[in-house]
């Protein structure tokens, strides 16, 4: 055999070995998979998505390359279109808010029932129990019935209240205040039940409203949004009241999911599990019982700001953390909203969530 023949044979063998080593579907993989995120890259939401993408790239040895598109780039700022684009395949993956998808999937309004979860003895344990329990399974099934696969749950956090008009400790303190809220009916009805004047507007309009005194307050997760945007530049008072929580659906287009080999699906699920912990830790650091900070330190990923309340106070804000008794007053004041939306969401789902929460009291 000639020298050239030896070389060609060696190359052919090497290519064959490589083909055998690669998962069967790898040759069909796209060069890039698009992952959608609503807010910017420096938020906990954006950081969690980037962490997931990095893990997948690393653990698949580059076979699956996920690129994170933040700030609503993939749906031109129309948040409610995200679900439709993911289902159609224009988007491959998403770290998606239950709030944004709730118009298409009524069951996703469950975490937005006012004070339903936040009034529990340990709201974080209650939320974890729901997502890991029967209610979480029912919500995932509702999403998948509409054409999107749910891989797991990340977290944006409990939505807290900030204002420019004195501390908020009881519903009467909200009377007449103009509060910027998400344009979801359940949010608007909740604030009306508390005597406030809810206003739906985009964030740039809200900032102008704060500066001009047209808008008195807003609601957003502390670590997820308020700290990254430096809320103290626009607001003077923070009320920690846990009125609703914003879980994030780690989701994928079903056809994209089926295109991955079984081996790579298992790898992706391991990345989802680790990303869930990372996301929850970013959301809860400085707010929970200390688990979040310990977990982030174990990853050598302690955030620059790990004491959100101290940070807000050092920047001139007054921080009020409501007691369980004070939260109960808000809970009672919003009963009519919960009753109405329980019928819309489904009484069976709400009962399942109540049972899940009772299991960790």
> Is 245 in contact with 158 (CB distance < 8 Å)?
yes
Residue 172 has pLDDT above 60, yes or no: yes
Indicate the number of domains in the chain: 1
The answer to whether residue 297 is domain-embedded is yes
The answer to whether residue 243 is domain-embedded is yes
The answer to whether residue 102 is domain-embedded is yes
The answer to whether residue 85 is domain-embedded is yes
* Beta bridge mates, 28: none
Residue 348 lies in domain:
33-359
- For 245, the enclosing helix (H) or strand (E) is strand 237-252
Q: What is the mean pLDDT of residues 268-275?
A: 99
Distance CA 135, CA 99 (A): 17
Burial level of 306, CB count in 10 A (0-12/13-18/19+)? middle
Q: What is the mean pLDDT of residues 75-102?
A: 93
The answer to whether residue 222 is domain-embedded is yes
CA 294 to chain centre: 21
Choice between 4 and 290, residue whose per-residue pLDDT is larger: 290
- The mean pLDDT of the chain is 93
The answer to whether residue 23 is domain-embedded is no
> Among 32-36, 75-79, 142-146, where is mean pLDDT lowest?
75-79
Predicted confidence band at 78 (pLDDT cuts at 50, 70, 90)? confident
Q: What is the mean pLDDT of residues 18-23?
A: 48
**Percent of the chain scoring above 70 in pLDDT:** 92
List b or e across 153-168, with b for residues whose CB sees 16 or more CB atoms inside 10 angstroms: bbbbbbbbbbbebeeb
Instruction: Provide the pLDDT for residue 25.
Output: 54
The answer to whether residue 251 is domain-embedded is yes
Instruction: Give the CATH number of the domain where residue 128 resides.
Output: 3.40.190.170
In the chain, what is the straight-line distance between the N-terminal and C-terminal CA atoms, in Å?
77
DSSP one-letter string for 129-153: HHHHSHHHHHHHHHHHHTT-EEEEE
The answer to whether residue 11 is domain-embedded is no
Predicted confidence band at 106 (pLDDT cuts at 50, 70, 90)? very high
> Among 10-14, 242-246, 286-290, 343-347, where is mean pLDDT lowest?
10-14
DSSP code of 225? I
Q: Give the tens place of pLDDT for each residue, 132-166.
A: 999 999 999 999 999 999 999 999 999 999 999 99
Predicted confidence band at 27 (pLDDT cuts at 50, 70, 90)? low
């Amino acid at each position: 055999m000639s020298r050239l023949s030896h070389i060609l044979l060696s190359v052919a063998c090497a290519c064959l070995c490589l083909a055998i080593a690669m998962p069967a579907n790898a040759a069909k993989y796209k060069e890039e998979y698009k992952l959608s995120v609503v807010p910017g890259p420096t938020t906990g939401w954006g950081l969690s998505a980037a962490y997931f993408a990095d893990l997948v790239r690393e653990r698949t040895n580059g076979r699956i390359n996920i690129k994170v598109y933040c700030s609503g780039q993939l749906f031109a700022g129309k948040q409610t279109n995200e679900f439709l684009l993911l289902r159609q395949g224009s988007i491959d993956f998403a770290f998606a808010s239950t709030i944004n998808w709730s118009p298409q999937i009524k069951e996703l309004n469950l975490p937005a029932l006012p004070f339903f979860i936040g009034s529990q003895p340990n709201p974080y344990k209650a939320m974890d129990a729901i997502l890991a329990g029967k209610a979480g399974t029912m919500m995932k099934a509702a999403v998948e019935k509409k054409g999107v696969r749910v891989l797991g749950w990340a977290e944006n956090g409990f939505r807290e209240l900030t204002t420019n008009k004195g501390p908020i400790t009881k519903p009467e303190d909200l009377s007449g205040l103009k509060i910027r809220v998400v344009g979801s009916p359940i949010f608007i009805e909740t604030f009306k039940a508390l005597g406030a004047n809810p206003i739906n507007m985009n964030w740039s309009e809200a900032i102008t409203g704060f500066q001009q005194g047209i808008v008195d307050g807003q609601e957003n997760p502390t670590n997820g949004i308020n700290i990254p945007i430096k809320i103290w530049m626009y607001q003077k008072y923070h009320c920690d009241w846990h009125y609703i929580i914003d879980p994030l659906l780690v989701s994928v287009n079903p056809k994209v999911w089926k295109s991955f080999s079984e081996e790579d699906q298992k790898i992706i699920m391991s990345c989802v599990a680790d990303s869930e912990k990372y996301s929850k830790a970013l959301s809860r650091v400085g707010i929970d019982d200390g688990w979040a900070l310990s977990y982030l330190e174990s990853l050598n990923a302690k955030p620059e700001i790990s004491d959100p309340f101290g940070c807000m106070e050092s920047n001139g804000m007054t921080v009020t953390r409501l007691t369980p008794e004070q939260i109960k007053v808000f809970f009672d004041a919003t009963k009519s909203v919960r009753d109405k939306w329980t019928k819309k969401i489904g009484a069976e789902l709400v009962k399942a969530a109540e049972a899940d929460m009772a299991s960790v009291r």
